[in-house]
Amino acid sequence: MNPYHFVISLFKYLTKTYPKRLQLVPHTTVHSIDSPQSQHHPYTIHTSKGQITTTRIIHGTNAHVSHFVPSLRSRIVPVRLSLSAQRPGVQFLADLKPGTRSWCLYFSNTYSFLSQLPQHPNGWGEGELLFGGGESFATDGELAELGNLDESRVDPSVASYLSGALPVYFGASNWGAESTPLHRDQQNGHADHTSPSEVEPGRVKKTWAGIMGMSADAVPWVGKLSKKLTPRKIIPEGGGEWVSAGFSGEGMVHAWACGRALAMMVLGQEERGGEELPPEFLITEERVKKTGKLEQILEAYYDP
């Protein structure tokens, strides 16, 4: 399964099925949130495309959540992660169907992660390998990626590691010669539908960086904010602010159940027996008090 296509397909289905209830507004910056004048008034959200008034706000901004929820500062910490998309060698695990395996590749006291995308029968996709990690090779040391919000570039030393490690990890006999778009086209009998301007012609099609929201106590933060945990001290009647964030790179594992549980909380409904979130995931004032120390952050970073 291609995770990007899966998520985009879900959004497409939902926006078409519920056009009056769900809208996606991309490239929109939230500048500020005004507290209600009273319990009978809504919040006012100021964005780059106008104002929104609402009695309910869900903060799903992960690594950036503390911008509007300062109480979670140092509880959810940004970490820059780097990723690459690479063409596999022509002999790469020849008996393995693309898109059916993922790997953790351990090196010293750290690890990198690897998954393979499926090949599409109409020629879309080359069974690309999505290979990420390598923070320990950063030019200024691994700590330089902690608290780093610059996703416009990949550290050059990390990029060098990502670009060269896979044939070494798997070995020459399992990797084979380097594949190229032309080789893959001839092998599969299909044209390459990727624009040449979007990717590189060699093994590494592209490298990029993204920001992970790392939880200081290693589990997500989900639930409604109390008055002590939000700077907006007036809560609208029947409303409030909720958070689902801090997935520590495991969003595809945790986000589904966390999102469902949060929706039930907003609606004031109970989860079905056996499907409740673990109590460790819930946001409480006690949990906030217990977390956020530097030692906890470093432990979570170095020992995920």
Neighbour order of strands in the sheet with 129-132: 102-107, 110-116, 129-132, 76-86, 204-215
Residues 6+ apart with CB under 8 A from 266: 56, 58, 242
Contact 181, 196 (CB under 8 A): no
Give the integer Cα–Cα distance in Å for 276 and 74: 26
Q: How far is CA 96 from CA 42, 87, 156, 166, in A?
A: 55, 15, 32, 16
- Helix (H) / strand (E) containing 181: helix 181-188
The residue assigned the tokens 């550290």 is 155
Give the integer Cα–Cα distance in Å for 76 and 249: 12
Q: Among 13-17, 43-47, 204-208, 250-254, where is mean pLDDT lowest?
A: 250-254
Dig out the tokens for 176 from the structure.
């084979």
Q: Among 94-98, 182-186, 236-240, where is mean pLDDT lowest?
A: 182-186
User: Has residue 300 got a pLDDT over 50?
Assistant: yes
In this prediction, residue 122 has a pLDDT band, given cuts at 50, 70 and 90, of low
What is the location of CATH 3.50.50.60 in the chain? 32-75+216-302
Fold adopted by 32-75+216-302:
FAD/NAD(P)-binding domain (3.50.50)
DSSP track, 5-28: HHHHHHHHHHHHH-TTT-----S-
Q: What is the pLDDT of residue 196?
A: 47
pLDDT, tens only, 8-67: 999 999 999 999 999 999 999 999 999 999 999 999 999 999 999 999 999 999 999 999
pLDDT, tens only, 227-249: 999 999 899 999 999 999 999 98
Dig out the tokens for 14 from the structure.
């939902």
pTM of the model: 0.86
Contact 133, 111 (CB under 8 A): yes
